[in-house]
Amino acid sequence: QAQLEESGGGLVQAGGSMGLSCTAARRTFRKFVIAWLRQAPGKEREFVASVTWDGNCTYSDIAKGRFTISRDVEENTVDLKMSNLKPEDTGTYFCARQSSPGSYDVWGQGTQVTVSS
């Protein structure tokens, strides 16, 4: 069983909203920072947002004001709610466990988000 598994994603029109969820398979993940990152076709993977075990959130510039990350410690899930989506938000979204700032050691398989114009 995957240690991190994303769900959600799909096709949405520009300006619309979408929610992604990341489920951790093991309860020990609650002690770690969990992040969402994304990778657009032909581009490098980039940080979107992260949340600590006690709910402190960090957002990239691309996410501020449009995306909200949240964590349910009891359910071992990290959600990413996205609004006012743009075609440039299209890509594969991954959740990952942060091993140190800017480094990630466990990844989900990714989920595709496509925003049509």
Residue 106, both tokens: 């466990």
pLDDT value, residue 81: 98
Blockwise average pLDDT, block size 10, the chain, 117 residues? 88 98 81 95 96 94 97 91 97 96 94 97
Other Cβ atoms less than 10 A from the Cβ of 70: the count is 14
Q: What is the DSSP string of 31-56?
A: GS-EEEEEE-TTS--EEEEEE-TT--
pLDDT value, residue 26: 73
pLDDT value, residue 1: 59
Cα distance between residue 89 and residue 99, in whole Å: 26
Cα distance between residue 93 and residue 36, in whole Å: 7
